[in-house]
Amino acid sequence: MGTYYAVKVARPPAGLTPEALRAGIERVLGGVIATLSTYDASSELSRLNRNPSTDWVPVSDALRQVLAAGQRLGAVSDGAFDITVGPLVNLWGFGPGAHADAVPAPELIRAARERVGYGKLELRADPAAIRRQRGDLYIDLSALGEGEGADRMAAWLESIGATDYMAAVAGTLRVRGKNAAGRPWGIAIEVPDPEQRSVQRILPVTDGAVSTSGDYRNFFKAGGKRYSHHIDPHTGLPVEQHLASVTVVLPAGTDSARRADGLATTLMVMGAARGPALAEAQGLAAYFILRENQGFRELTTTVFQQIEHSASANERK
Ligand code: ADP
Ligand code: MG
Number of domains in the chain: 2
Is the residue at 34 inside a domain?
no
CA of 129 to the centre of ligand 2 (A): 24
**Same structural domain, 73 and 116:** yes
**Same structural domain, 190 and 296:** yes
Ligand located closest to 142 CA: 1
Is the residue at 133 inside a domain?
yes
**Same structural domain, 311 and 198:** yes
User: What mean pLDDT, rounded, does the chain reach?
Assistant: 95
Is the residue at 8 inside a domain?
no
- CA distances for 24 relative to 16, 18, 144, 157, 284, angstroms: 10, 10, 21, 9, 32
Q: What average pLDDT does the segment 271-286 reach?
A: 96
Atom of ligand 1 nearest to the CA of 170: 2
pLDDT of residue 38: 95
Atom of ligand 1 nearest to the CA of 95: 16
CATH at 129: 1.10.3980.10
CA-proximal residue: ligand 1, atom 19 (nearest): 230
pLDDT of residue 317: 66
State if residue 85 touches ligand 1 by the CB under 6 angstroms criterion: yes
- Which of the four pLDDT bands, split at 50, 70 and 90, describes residue 246? very high
pLDDT of residue 294: 84
pLDDT digits over 179-219, tens only?
A: 999 999 999 999 998 788 899 999 999 999 999 999 888 89
CATH at 267: 3.10.520.10
Instruction: Tell me, yes or no, if the pTM score tops 0.85.
Output: yes
**Same structural domain, 89 and 183:** no
Assess whether pLDDT exceeds 90 at residue 100.
Answer: no
State if residue 151 touches ligand 1 by the CB under 6 angstroms criterion: no
- Nearest residue to 88 via CA among 142, 169, 33, 48: 142
3-class secondary structure for 246-285? EEEEEECCCCHHHHHHHHHHHHHHHHHHHHHHHHHHCCCE
**Same structural domain, 189 and 127:** no
**Same structural domain, 223 and 305:** yes
Q: What average pLDDT does the segment 151-171 reach?
A: 98
**Same structural domain, 117 and 186:** no
- Nearest residue to 211 via CA among 159, 267, 173: 173
Quick one: what percent of the chain has pLDDT higher than 70?
A: 100
pLDDT of residue 251: 96
For ligand 1, pick from 76, 118, 142, 239 the residue to mutate: most ligand atoms within 8 Å of CB.
Answer: 142
**Same structural domain, 175 and 135:** no
Is the residue at 294 inside a domain?
yes
Is the residue at 215 inside a domain?
yes
Q: What average pLDDT does the segment 154-177 reach?
A: 98
pLDDT digits over 215-225, tens only?
A: 888 899 998 89
CA-proximal residue: ligand 1, atom 3 (nearest): 213
State if residue 213 touches ligand 1 by the CB under 6 angstroms criterion: yes
Q: What average pLDDT does the segment 292-296 reach?
A: 88
Assess whether pLDDT exceeds 80 at residue 297.
Answer: yes
pLDDT digits over 42-97, tens only?
A: 999 999 999 999 999 999 999 999 999 999 999 999 999 999 999 999 999 999 98
Domain membership of residue 241 as a residue range: 171-316
The answer to which of 9-18, 125-134, 216-225 has the lowest mean pLDDT is 216-225
* Cα–Cα distance, 143 to 136 (Å, whole number): 20
